[in-house]
């Protein structure tokens, strides 16, 4: 079921989105060669709690039998696409790191979730890595521009796929964006490509969407590692990820997680 948020919900989600963007900015400012991903994670958790909110991903389970997700951040380096738990891994010059962050803000007796991500270069990165970051960030912006009442969810994926492939890269297919707000993951799924069997959904004012293209330099295929969480490219090529939480407004959209 796709939920419609009230004006009061949007007000609270706006607060939760601003908090999240502020925390991610502080995390981003700490990223440099020599830093461990767990150090970024501790910083993020402290900052979220200082805002009176809670990390949304820590102990998250997709299914009841999953190993609970162990950290506040997803810290996916190089060929890792998404969902890499923070660890003692030390960032080195030339790495790219996808930082995905979510929080739960409880107010007026209700939980509000926001979700965002961006991929950041560590030190001096290669020319192709720079292009990957630029293309992925732009593909998110292009997808977001499709958000308005009466457009459909597939319009978002179509725009993202068309742009990414025109730049010679590929869009991951087995993971999607999603509704968000009352929970981390709500309906509808938001594929970043034209999925012919997808249930299409017409956008309505008050829908809150997490749009999140994952873009690979090589093939779109991915695999899950033995830790049960980390998803990497099958061919080992670099991958990037950008995400915003966006609300459908009267005549377009508002980005709730603007930095
Ligand atoms: N933030 C991810 C998303 O964009 C979900 C992370 S859940 C976790 O959908 F448990 F893997 F962290
Ligand atoms: Co996310
Ligand atoms: Co998401």
- 146-179: per-residue pLDDT in tens? 999 999 999 999 999 999 999 999 999 999 999 9
- 87-103: per-residue pLDDT in tens? 999 999 999 999 999 99
User: Does residue 249 carry a pLDDT above 80?
Assistant: yes
For residue 123, the CA-to-ligand 3 centroid distance in Å is: 27
Q: Is the CB of 69 under 6 A from ligand 1?
A: yes
pLDDT level of residue 197 (50, 70, 90 thresholds): confident
| Confidence (pLDDT) at 50 | 98
Q: Is the CB of 105 under 6 A from ligand 1?
A: no
pLDDT level of residue 62 (50, 70, 90 thresholds): confident
User: Which atom of ligand 1 lies closest to the CA of 100?
Assistant: 1
Tokens of 168: 């010679």
Give the angle 201-179-109 at the CA atoms, nearest 5°: 130
SS3 40: helix
User: Does residue 74 carry a pLDDT above 80?
Assistant: yes
Report the nearest-CA residue for atom 8 of ligand 1: 57
| Residue from 17, 23, 45, 57 whose mutation best tests the ligand 1 pocket (most atoms within 8 A of CB) | 57
The span from the CA of 5 to the CA of 25, in Å, is 27
The reported pTM is 0.98
User: Does residue 198 carry a pLDDT above 90?
Assistant: no
The residue among 84, 124, 78 whose CA lies nearest residue 100 is 84
Q: Is the CB of 80 under 6 A from ligand 1?
A: no
User: Does residue 13 carry a pLDDT above 90?
Assistant: yes
| Confidence (pLDDT) at 66 | 87
| Confidence (pLDDT) at 215 | 99
Strand 177-179 vs strand 208-211: parallel, antiparallel, or unpaired? Answer: antiparallel
| Confidence (pLDDT) at 18 | 98
| Confidence (pLDDT) at 225 | 96
Beta bridge partners of 190: 177
Give the angle 81-84-90 at the CA atoms, nearest 5°: 105
For residue 53, the CA-to-ligand 3 centroid distance in Å is: 18
44-51: average pLDDT: 98
User: Which atom of ligand 1 lies closest to the CA of 57?
Assistant: 12
Q: Is the CB of 115 under 6 A from ligand 1?
A: yes
- Burial class from Cβ neighbours inside 10 Å (0-12, 13-18, 19+) for residue 116 reads buried
User: Which atom of ligand 1 lies closest to the CA of 69?
Assistant: 10
- 129-140: per-residue pLDDT in tens? 999 999 999 999
| Residue from 102, 119, 257 whose mutation best tests the ligand 1 pocket (most atoms within 8 A of CB) | 102
**Which CATH fold topology does 7-255 show?**
Creatine Amidinohydrolase (3.90.230)
Q: Is the CB of 95 under 6 A from ligand 1?
A: no
| Confidence (pLDDT) at 196 | 84
Report the nearest-CA residue for atom 1 of ligand 1: 100
Q: Is the CB of 158 under 6 A from ligand 1?
A: no
112-119: average pLDDT: 99
For the chain, the average pLDDT equals 97
Domain ranges in the chain are 7-255
% the chain with pLDDT above 90: 95
pLDDT level of residue 78 (50, 70, 90 thresholds): very high
């Amino acid at each position: 079921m796709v939920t419609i948020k009230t004006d009061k919900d949007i007000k609270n989600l706006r607060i939760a989105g601003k908090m999240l963007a502020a925390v991610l900015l502080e995390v981003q400012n700490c990223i440099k060669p020599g830093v461990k991903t767990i150090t970024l994670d501790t910083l993020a958790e402290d900052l979220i709690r200082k805002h009176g909110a809670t990390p949304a991903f820590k102990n998250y389970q997709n299914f009841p039998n999953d190993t609970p997700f162990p950290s506040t951040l997803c810290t996916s380096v190089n060929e890792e696409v998404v969902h890499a738990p923070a660890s003692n891994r030390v960032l080195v010059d030339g790495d790219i790191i996808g930082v995905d962050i979510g929080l739960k803000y409880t107010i007026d007796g209700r939980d509000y979730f926001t979700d965002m991500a961006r991929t950041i270069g560590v030190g001096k990165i290669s020319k192709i890595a720079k292009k990957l970051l630029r293309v992925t960030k732009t593909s998110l912006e292009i997808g977001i521009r499709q958000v308005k009442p009466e457009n459909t969810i597939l319009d978002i994926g179509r725009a993202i796929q068309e742009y990414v492939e025109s730049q010679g890269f590929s869009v991951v297919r087995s993971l999607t964006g999603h509704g968000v707000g009352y929970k981390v993951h709500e309906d509808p799924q938001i594929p970043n490509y034209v999925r012919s069997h997808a249930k299409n959904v017409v956008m309505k004012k008050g829908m809150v969407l997490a749009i999140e293209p994952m873009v690979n330099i090589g093939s779109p295929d991915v695999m899950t590692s033995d830790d049960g969480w980390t998803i990497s490219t099958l061919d080992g090529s670099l991958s990037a990820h950008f995400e915003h939480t966006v609300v459908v407004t009267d005549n377009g959209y508002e980005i709730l997680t603007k930095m």
